[in-house]
Structure 1
Amino acid sequence: MKNKSRAFFFTLTFVAVLFGGNVFSQNHPAGSYALKLPKGDNNPRNSEGDFVTLKDGSILFVYSHYTGTSSDDHGNAFLAGRYSRYGGKTWSAEDKMIVAQEGNMNVMSVSLLRLKNGKIALFYLKKNSHTDCIPYMRTSSDEGKTWSEPTRCITDRNNYFVLNNNRVIQLKNGRLLMPVALHNTREGGAFENQGIIYCYFSDDSGKTWTSSAEIPNNTKIITQEPGVIALKDGRVMMFIRSNSGVQQLSFSKDQGKSWSPIEPSKIASPLSPASIARIPSTGDLLLVWNNNDGKDPKTKERRTPLTTAISKDEGKTWQNLKNIEDNPSGSFCYTAIHFTKNEVLLGYFDWATTQVTIKRLDLNWLAGK
């Protein structure tokens, strides 16, 4: 048995070297690390990204590669790509430039989406200043080899919008939904902590976008960084980062045009974003978030642990909680969720180390089987 294990490790190592990637051989109850991108010289931060499976079966991961000396959200950055030919087990060792730094500050917060017309859509923020941050979109017809010129998604308003990574979704009828938070409403005004939440939608594969009504917030709760998930009954559920101690929710019955007033969920959370996706093989929902109710003074308000949970009732209740990262000094956030046949890839950022990590998790283990 020992010889077989050793042979398996050397085989994996050979494959990784052959492809120029990284391999982590250890088995761990909370999954296997497939790729870690730590900071380095002239690279103070590697930040959140997203995945897409290409037609040849390989996977592309695009993330923000920071340059210079600042790891701040407004530091310099371009979009870089890494590839996996082995279902996310190993990854290419060198970056491929996907989008150079277009904004005066950076480009960041990637969403990748396979459109119904077969093209790949790439969404990202183009950040010019503390009062000018707008989502842009490019498409690729050749599986990411080349990309179209950028198209501005929000044209009816200016100022500072936040679109998180792994946030744009496509409904069954092809409608695209893009949930955003507007953080300053006065021309040239300072960044405002309270985000005004909207959901832009497009019925022409992203050529044009229309704003929903503002998501009603009749409280003093701070709302930020929304995400959306389509439910089986035809509604769309929005989950929203907040300072209320839980994720806030809003629902749309008309595919994103109008939304119900925010309401508290049962998802205990610090002021940190959550991510939700539907597991293709079971139809259940997978939640990834910081399961931290603030009761432990050592980790109060920190983005740790990073936890997964499963819902079999469309988000009403959550079960099979698993801690993926539990370092009390960590700050894990901005998770991208991507499914392979029997596993899920999680790509997430750690503010404590300013590195991005990809982790592989067995879906049966997550479901408690």
Structure 2
Amino acid sequence: MSITGKVVLDLPPVKGNPRNSEGSFINLKDGRIMFVYSKFTGDRFNDDASADLAARYSDDNGETWTDDRIIATREEDQALNIMSVTLMRMANGDIGLFYVIRAGANDARTYLRRSADEGEIWSVPLLCIQPVGYYVVNNDRVVRLSDGRLLIPAAFHRNGYDSGNKNPGIRFDSRGEVIFFISDDDGKTWTEGNCKSVLPFNAYSYSGLQEPGVVELGNGMLWSFARTDMCYQYEMFSFDRGETWTTPQPSRFTSPCSPMSIKRIPETGNLLAVWNPVPNYNGSQQFRKGAWNGGRTPFVLSVSKDDGR
């Protein structure tokens, strides 16, 4: 296994900024790259801790980066935090900023803001997921299909998430159920798909299907994947542009309970998969130097030249 690449930007935790995570990139019209990510504040790094959205810019193709600029705050959204960004070029040329507003322990939903001036000024947020609930949508997960349809892959968790919950009568259900939200008018209106995907062995799983992603294949079929604690990424397929899905099944990708990403390389059309290949088998190492890492090492890349076959 060869090691490649180099670190061009490191954002370690520091006092008052305990976590920087869940970002997305977009090419600006002037040639710069914009990177927007979750910048946590205070002294907690939990998923429900305080966080804003910060932007950094590169004018040398990612080699160096500016200092951060806060572009959205949790206070203006009246939220516990805001996080999990997807940046997308919209049909009219605007930049779309999809992100999760965590309004409460049982209210985490994706919203969309637009910018007509390359990220300087943003519109008010538009709600994309109508039903109230706790929906996990990872960063850089919202996709546009070849016919223009937008898809948001979400993992629904009953009873929400509250790291400080002491009420034994309310239990966060960690077993995610995958639901897709769909827009056919470039994000102006949204509907829920006609299918909910559930792990077949849910009774024996703590994770269920979590942090789903999706990619469109060359024949128009959609391939979705989700992390599990069953030693594999589980996969499901749609033949009707995301309305319904096949029963989830283990994929070829062994994995701990960590998210995988699959993207299409623009220059070649090949698929690029990025994931952790070593599952959490009995006795596997979950800690390193006293810190939990979930067994999320090594971190590998794989390319498919035949559309994932």
Q: TM-score, normalising length from structure 1?
A: 0.74
Structure 1 residue corresponding to 2:80, chosen from 105, 115, 118:
105
Q: 1: CA distance between counterparts of 2:89 and 2:170?
A: 36
**Structure 2 equivalent of residue 124 of structure 1:** 99
1:313 equivalent to 2:306? Answer: yes
What 5-or-longer segments of structure 1 have no aligned partner? Answer: 1-27, 317-369
**Structure 1 equivalent of residue 197 of structure 2:** 215
- Work out whether residues 152 and 181 of structure 2, in 8 Å CA contact, stay in contact via their aligned partners in 1: yes
Tell me the SS of whatever aligns to 2:7.
strand
What 5-or-longer segments of structure 2 have no aligned partner? Answer: 161-168, 287-293
- Work out whether residues 216 and 259 of structure 1, in 8 Å CA contact, stay in contact via their aligned partners in 2: no
Q: Which has the higher contact order (CA 8 A, sep 6+)?
A: 1
Q: 1: CA distance between counterparts of 2:198 and 2:18?
A: 38
Q: Which residue identity is paired with 2:92?
A: N
1:148 equivalent to 2:123? Answer: yes
Is the alpha carbon distance of 1:121 and 1:44 closer, same or farther for their aligned partners in structure 2, counting shifts above 3 Å?
A: same
Q: 2: CA distance between counterparts of 1:250 and 1:29?
A: 31
Q: Give the deviation of 1:218 after TM superposition.
A: 3.2
Alignment of 1:183-198 (within 5 A): 183-184=157-158, 189-198=170-179
Q: Which residue identity is paired with 1:261?
A: T
Q: 1: CA distance between counterparts of 2:282 and 2:173?
A: 29
Structure 2 residue corresponding to 1:304, chosen from 292, 297, 309:
297
Structure 2 residue corresponding to 1:254, chosen from 230, 234, 240:
240
Q: Give the deviation of 1:59 after TM superposition.
A: 0.4
Q: 2: CA distance between counterparts of 1:214 and 1:189?
A: 23
- Work out whether residues 231 and 281 of structure 2, in 8 Å CA contact, stay in contact via their aligned partners in 1: no
Q: Give the deviation of 1:42 after TM superposition.
A: 1.1
- Work out whether residues 180 and 197 of structure 1, in 8 Å CA contact, stay in contact via their aligned partners in 2: yes
Measured against aligned partners, the alpha-carbon deviations of 1:29-55 in whole angstroms (never above 9, x if no partner) come to 421111011122211111120000001
Question: What is the alpha-carbon root mean square deviation over aligned residues?
Answer: 1.8
Tell me the SS of whatever aligns to 2:240.
coil
More helix by share: 1
Structure 2 residue corresponding to 1:243, chosen from 229, 232, 236:
229
Moved more, 195-204 or 39-48: 39-48
Structure 1 residue corresponding to 2:147, chosen from 154, 170, 173:
173
Is the alpha carbon distance of 1:76 and 1:204 closer, same or farther for their aligned partners in structure 2, counting shifts above 3 Å?
A: same
Number of corresponding residues:
286
Q: 2: CA distance between counterparts of 1:132 and 1:197?
A: 16
The structure number with the bigger radius of gyration is 1
Q: Which residue identity is paired with 2:4?
A: A
Tell me the SS of whatever aligns to 2:114.
strand
Q: Give the deviation of 1:299 after TM superposition.
A: 2.9
